[in-house]
Structure 1
Amino acid sequence: MSTGMKKGTSRREFVRTVAGAAVIGSIAGLDVPAARASGAPENRELLVAPCGLYCGACPMYLATRDKDEAKIKALLGQFSGRDSSMTLADVQCDGCIGGGRVAAFCRKCSMRECAETKPGVTRCADCGDFPCRLVTDFNNDGMLHHAEVLENCRGLRERGIARWTRHEEERWSCPECQARISWYDPKCARCGAARSERLFPLRRG
């Protein structure tokens, strides 16, 4: 499947510029078409990617959800420096398993492809082989937001998807105005409040 990336551009290089419908398995207990047809503006369970990332804090997801054309164009500007073939469609996303648009760099995902071959498995957290090399390497690839996936998967197992996603929604909301904050926002875009200490630091210690 094409990712929209130029030949020779690595996934890691492609994702790094962000810093500057699938089947729901046993852990979710949801049917994607039914969930999307429910009329809910945002379904928490569909914002948990196969790898364990919380898509609700992805800048591309948030810009798409909010129909923020200026932000979408800004994201394209960040990517087009590395890949001039990128289009606006490549930086719009409804979540990895939301059943709609998927950002270019997430269209081909080894963890999602692996899960699709295993009955009853939608996410790494569902799998009896967790933690395997695929998700461990992803966790340790140097990207700050990727470094949460092993902990996220363990949290999904311990809390269950409903409790875990409520926790993530709260964690990635501004403590002052409750607007959603993305992985790499240094402050709240709405009210200017400082990034919460509950989130990973943007600089390594």
Structure 2
Amino acid sequence: MSEFRYDSYCGLYCGACDILVAYKNGLETGTTPQWSDLPPEFANNLPFNAQKAEIKCYGCKTDTVFAGCSKCFIRKCARKKVGIETCLDCERYPCYRVKIMAFAKKLLKIETKLPHLKAIASNIEVIKNNGVQFWLEEQQRKWQCPHCGKRLSWYRASCPDCNSHGEQPDSFSVR
């Protein structure tokens, strides 16, 4: 079995991804996650072909990623280079790929359908100022139920176990 990685190259926190959370919960409970288990705000806004894919992911920086993320051009670029932990490590940052992604998000209004993508810019800023480890610890606290410790995800308004609300993310409002 692979080890989970919650950091990504672009600054998105994989530990709060509904796909990864559903898969990890399935491993822990011995069940196979189903598309009907995912919040509709997330599942219904993915490309149609992604909705047919297996719900399985260990995070962006692993060899086992969700089909919808496997084609990410930022991920492909970073994996080809040596020593790249985030886009910030690349001498070309911000490169045309990052600029194209930002332009496409605005042009196609992707962030209205998938608002978790709004967090990328602020996450990269925290990583730049404080380092990946600090950011990972901050994200873990943000995406963990303060009452029972259960993992929260981008599109869950409350804890699936105790129904309490976690820390409200300041960068977007999907929960």
SS at match of 1:125: helix
2:62 paired residue number: 98
How is 1:26-37 mapped onto 2 (pairs within 5 angstroms)? none
For residues 51 and 160 of structure 2, the distance between their equivalents in structure 1, rounded to whole angstroms, comes to 29
Which 5+ residue runs of structure 1 have no aligned equivalent?
1-32, 37-41
Which of 70, 87, 93 is the matching residue for 1:130?
93
2:108 paired residue number: none
Aligned-residue Cα RMSD (Å) equals 3.1
The letter for the 2-side match of 1:120 is G
Identity %: 29
| CA deviation after TM superposition for structure 1 residue 161, in Å | 1.7
1:53 paired residue number: 12
Instruction: Provide closer, same or farther for how the CA distance between residues 132 and 182 of structure 1 changes in structure 2, counting only shifts above 3 A.
Output: same
Give the TM-score, by structure 2 length. Answer: 0.75
| CA deviation after TM superposition for structure 1 residue 61, in Å | 0.5
1:8 paired residue number: none
- 8 Å contact from structure 2 (residues 35, 51) kept in 1: no
1:11 paired residue number: none
2:95 paired with 1:114: no
2:149 paired with 1:187: no
**Would you tell me which structure has more helix in proportion to its own residues?**
2
Which 5+ residue runs of structure 2 have no aligned equivalent?
106-110
Instruction: Provide closer, same or farther for how the CA distance between residues 133 and 144 of structure 1 changes in structure 2, counting only shifts above 3 A.
Output: farther
For residues 138 and 102 of structure 2, the distance between their equivalents in structure 1, rounded to whole angstroms, comes to 20
For residues 154 and 54 of structure 1, the distance between their equivalents in structure 2, rounded to whole angstroms, comes to 13
